[in-house]
A and B are shown apart, each in its own frame.
Chain A
Amino acid sequence: MSAYLLSLAIWVPILGAIPVLLLGSERRFLVRWLSLAVAIAGLLVTIPLYIGFDPAVVGMQFVEQAPWVPRFNLQYLLGVDGISMPFILLNSFITIMVVLAGWEVIATKQAQYMAAFLIMSGLMNGIFSALDGVLFYVFFEASLIPMYLIIGVWGGPNRVYAAVKFFLYTLLGSLLMLVALIWLFLDAGGSANILDWHQLKIGMAPQILIFIAFLVSFAVKVPMWPVHTWLPDAHVEAPTGGSVVLAAIALKLGAYGFLRFSLPIAPDASHYLAPVMIALSLTAIIYIGFVALVQADMKKLVAYSSISHMGFVTLGFFIFNSLGIEGALVQMISHGFVSAAMFLCIGVMYDRMHSRQIADYGGVVNTMPKFAAFFMLFSMANAGLPATSGFVGEFMVILGAVKFNFFTGAAAAVTLILGAAYTLWMYKRVIFGEITNPHVAELTDIGRREFLILALLAVCVLAMGLYPYPFTEVMHTSVDNLLKHVAVSKL
Chain B
Amino acid sequence: MLNNFVVPDFYPLAPEILLLSMSFVILLADLVLGKTQRWVAFALSIITLLGCAALTVMTADGQTALTMSNLFVDDLLSDFLKLMAYLSVIMVLVYGRQYLVVRGLDKGEFYLLVLFATLGMMVMISAASLLTLYLGLELMSLSLYALVAIDRDSKRATEAAMKYFVLGALASGLLLYGMSMVYGATGNLNIADISQVLYQGQADKTVLVFGLVFIVAGIAFKLGVVPFHMWIPDVYHGAPTVVTMLIGTAPKFAAFAMILRLLVYALFAVVAEWQQMLLIMAVLSIALGNLAAIAQKNIKRMLAYSAISHMGFMLLGLTSGVIGKEVDPFTAINAYSSSLYYTLAYVLMSLGSFGMVLLLSRAGHEAEELDDFKGLNQRSPWFAGMMLIFMLSMAGIPFFIGFFAKFAVLTAAIKAGHLYVAIGAVMFSLVGAFYYLRVVKLMYFDAAEDKTPLLARTSFRILLSLNGIAVAAFGLFPDAVMSLCTAVLLHSL
Asked if B102 CB lies within 8 Å of chain A CBs, one says no
List residues of A (152-169) whose CB comes within 8 Å of B's CBs.
152-153, 159-160, 163-164, 167-168
- Contact status A164-B422, CB under 8 Å: no
- Contact status A142-B440, CB under 8 Å: no
- Contact status B483-A70, CB under 8 Å: yes
CB < 8 Å neighbour of B419 from A70, A167, A175, A183: A183
Q: How far is the CA of A159 from the CA of B403 in the complex (A)?
A: 27
Q: How far is the CA of A175 from the CA of B482 in the complex (A)?
A: 22
Q: How far is the CA of A373 from the CA of B428 in the complex (A)?
A: 51
- Proximity bits, A180-202, B CB within 8 Å = 1, else 0: 00110110000000000000000
Q: Which residues of A contact B430 (CB under 8 A)?
A: 168, 171-172, 175
Assuming the contacts A182-B422, A183-B419, asked whether A175 and B429 have C-beta atoms less than 8 A apart, the reply is yes
Q: How far is the CA of A163 from the CA of B434 in the complex (A)?
A: 11
Q: How far is the CA of A185 from the CA of B445 in the complex (A)?
A: 38
CB < 8 Å neighbour of B399 from A142, A167, A171: A142
CB < 8 Å neighbour of A176 from B404, B426, B441, B479: B426
- Which of B166-174, B219-227, B409-417 binds A? B409-417
How distant is A166 from chain B, measured CB to nearest CB, in Å? 11
- Contact status B479-A71, CB under 8 Å: yes
How distant is B291 from chain A, measured CB to nearest CB, in Å? 15
- Contact status B433-A141, CB under 8 Å: no
Assuming the contacts A142-B398, A144-B397, A164-B434, asked whether A179 and B414 have C-beta atoms less than 8 A apart, the reply is yes
Q: How far is the CA of A145 from the CA of B392 in the complex (A)?
A: 9
- Contact status A69-B478, CB under 8 Å: yes
How distant is A173 from chain B, measured CB to nearest CB, in Å? 10
Asked if B423 CB lies within 8 Å of chain A CBs, one says yes
Assuming the contacts A141-B398, A179-B419, A182-B414, asked whether A69 and B482 have C-beta atoms less than 8 A apart, the reply is yes
Query: Number of A residues whose C-beta is below 8 Å from B?
Result: 34
- Proximity bits, A109-144, B CB within 8 Å = 1, else 0: 100100000000000000000000010011001101
CB < 8 Å neighbour of A152 from B397, B398, B419, B444: B444
Q: How far is the CA of A176 from the CA of B437 in the complex (A)?
A: 19
Q: Which residues of B contact A145 (CB under 8 A)?
A: 388, 392, 397
Query: Number of B residues whose C-beta is below 8 Å from A?
Result: 34
Assuming the contacts A182-B407, A183-B414, asked whether A137 and B398 have C-beta atoms less than 8 A apart, the reply is yes
- Contact status B419-A148, CB under 8 Å: no
Asked if B298 CB lies within 8 Å of chain A CBs, one says no
Q: Which residues of A contact B423 (CB under 8 A)?
A: 176, 179
Q: Which residues of B contact A137 (CB under 8 A)?
A: 398
- Contact status B381-A112, CB under 8 Å: yes
How distant is A440 from chain B, measured CB to nearest CB, in Å? 32
CB < 8 Å neighbour of A70 from B433, B444, B479: B479
Asked if B486 CB lies within 8 Å of chain A CBs, one says yes
Asked if B54 CB lies within 8 Å of chain A CBs, one says no
- Contact status B415-A164, CB under 8 Å: no
How distant is B309 from chain A, measured CB to nearest CB, in Å? 15
Q: Which residues of A contact B479 (CB under 8 A)?
A: 68-71
Asked if A96 CB lies within 8 Å of chain B CBs, one says no
Nearest A-chain residue to B413, judged by Cβ: A182
- Contact status B445-A153, CB under 8 Å: yes
- Proximity bits, B331-369, A CB within 8 Å = 1, else 0: 000000000000000000000000000000000000000
How distant is A118 from chain B, measured CB to nearest CB, in Å? 15
Q: How far is the CA of A427 from the CA of B427 in the complex (A)?
A: 44
Q: Which residues of B contact A (CB under 8 A)?
A: 377, 381, 388, 392, 397-399, 403-404, 407-408, 410-411, 414-415, 419, 422-423, 426-427, 429-430, 433-434, 437, 440-441, 444-445, 478-479, 482-483, 486
For the complex of A and B, the 7 pairs showing the least CB-CB separation, nearest first, are A138-B398, A175-B426, A152-B445, A71-B482, A69-B479, A71-B483, A182-B414
Show 7 residue pairs from A and B whose CB-CB distance is below 8 angstroms, ordered by the A residue.
A69-B479, A112-B377, A141-B398, A142-B398, A153-B444, A167-B437, A176-B426
11 A-B pairs besides A69-B482, A163-B441 with CB distance below 8 A are: A71-B479, A71-B482, A71-B486, A152-B445, A153-B445, A164-B441, A167-B433, A171-B430, A176-B426, A178-B407, A179-B419
